[in-house]
Structure 1
C-alpha cells in the first residue's frame, strides 16, 4: 500500500511554484500542476503557442536539445524535464501540428 502524501510532503514543489511566480511573473500564463503522485514536481503546460513554450524553456534554463517531440493526427506535444528551486520541472507544450519544421516555427530554436 502506498502511503498518502500530505500537503507538507508537497512543500518543495509548492515553494518552487512560489519562486517561479516571483521570478517569471512577466512570462505568458500557463497551467500549473502539483499533485500527490509526483509530490516534488511542478508541471507547467503551455497550450497553442510554441513561442510561449520556448519562452518558458529558456527562462528555466533547460537545453533545447532535451526537448522530446511527439505528434498526434492534428496536434503535437513537446515535453522537457529540468529543475528549479529544488523541484523537478516538467514543461509541456501542446499546439496544432505544424506544416514547417519546429525550429522555423519558434524562430530557429527547438
Structure 2
C-alpha cells in the first residue's frame, strides 16, 4: 500500500517549524522519504560550518556527533540525530579532506 502524504506529517511539520524558527540559518539539502516516514534529513555538502551552525542552534551536544571518513579517506562526515517536533531530525555534514602535498606530488609523478 502506498503511504499517503499525511503519513509524512512529522517530518514536514518539523521542516515547517525549522523554517519559521531558524530562517537565518544556512539552507540545507532536505530529504523526506516514505521509507523512513518519521525522519527529516538536513545535509550540508560544502564543508562543516553550516552543520555546526545548525547543531548549535538545535542544542545538540558535541559529544552526540559521530565522525566518519568516506570515499577512500577523501570525505569527512559528521552526523547527529535529535527528536524535533515529533520527527527524527538527522543532520549530515560533508567536507573534503585535502590531499597532503607529498601525496599529490607522488600522484603527479605517476601520471
TM-score of the pair, normalised by structure 2: 0.81
Larger % of helix: which?
A: 2
Deviations 1:89-108 (A, max 9, x none): 01000001268xxxxxxxxx
The CA distance in 2 between the partners of 1:98 and 1:66, in whole Å, is 25
Q: State the Cα distance separating 1:60 from its structure 2 match.
A: 1.2
1:1-110 matched pairs, under 5 angstroms: 3-72=1-70, 73-97=73-97
The CA distance in 2 between the partners of 1:98 and 1:54, in whole Å, is 20
Q: CA RMSD in A?
A: 1.4
Say how many residue pairs are matched: 97
The CA distance in 2 between the partners of 1:67 and 1:11, in whole Å, is 26
Q: State the Cα distance separating 1:11 from its structure 2 match.
A: 0.7
Larger Rg: 2
Q: Aligned pair in 2 of structure 1 residues 67, 98: CA closer, same or farther (>3 Å)? A: farther
Instruction: Structure 1 unaligned segments of length 5 or more: list them.
Output: 100-110
Q: Which runs of 4+ in 1 moved over 4 A?
A: none
Deviations 1:39-85 (A, max 9, x none): 11110001122111100111112111011111122111111110211
